[in-house]
Amino acid sequence: APYDPRHAPPLPGQPSQVYSDYFARVKDLVERASEKNQNKPVILVAHSFGGKVILGFVNWTPMAWRKKFIKHLVLVSPTPPEGFLGVLTSLTSGPSFLVPSVPPLLLRQMWRTFASTLLSLPSPMAFGHRPTVITNHKNYSAYDYKDLLPALGLNTEVVKRVLSMQLRIDPPMVPTTYLNGVGVKTPEQVVYREGNFDVAPEKVYGDGDGTMNFFSVLAFVKELSRQQQANIPFKFVAIANATHSDIVVQEHSLKKVMDVILEANH
């Protein structure tokens, strides 16, 4: 169920026509898949930003529809709403993963036009007051976007949009398994010593899957696990040394993902 990564899934109270149309198509896909398989409910599997998208889809559907059509939700290294540092460094220095053969700085201006780039910035919920961007003159934490974004040259409207975003995480209220890599060196701070965002930063590393910061993953897990209070199953599986991209490629981690899907299918 491919989506357009330039657009942002809708926030509560902020509808998106692009995603309303997309969600309607996914809903139709699920219903047709169920109908063609003896009206059985489906298992939804999503990876990375697709995890954020599919979680938005599930929460968009009525509860009665979820109970009828969704047997299990499998989130593999989903993008946590609490944010991760890679989103911020793509905003400051350009994305290194979009077109690997092109220098990130040449893609920065285009990247900043995507609505999705403002999602998943490091949030106070996960990152607290710890600096994410360090310079000789000023440090910036997740509380300092009103200062950092203008310093990056972003316009007032963008700053207002970021500051107005209210972080809200609703559990999907369907049986869910969340898998994520751990034990891989993951950037959690960037250093621009002279405050020059046109040069590649130095990086300070912590734990994660090479992309997603593990403390942000755990904050997301805590929010999703609230559905257990309503006796709806939720399970988190940490896979040692699985990177963000290769978790669905490497044999040892792919087997764990497939085991979860097969278990849910019984």
Residue 218 corresponds to which tokens in the numbers above? Answer: 């755990």
Choosing from 47, 93, 116, 244, the catalytic residue is 244
- Catalytic residue among 47, 209, 216, 253, which? 209
* Alpha carbon distance 138, 185 (integer Å): 26
The CA distance from 14 to 28, in Å, is 23
Active-site residue, from 48, 77, 90, 123:
48
Give the 3-state secondary structure of residue 191. strand
Cα 258 off chain centre by: 21
DSSP per-residue codes, 50-105: HHHHHHHHHHHS-HHHHHHHEEEEEEESPPPTT--HHHHHHHHH--SSSSTTS-HH
> Could you confirm whether 244 is annotated as catalytic?
yes
**Catalytic (active site) residue 77:** no
Q: How far apart are the first and last CA of the chain?
A: 24
- Is 164 one of the catalytic residues? no
In degrees to the nearest 10, what's the CA dihedral of 135, 141, 145, 148? 0
- Helix or strand or coil: residue 142? coil
Strand order in the sheet with 234-240: 42-47, 70-76, 176-182, 234-240
- Active site members: 48, 209, 244
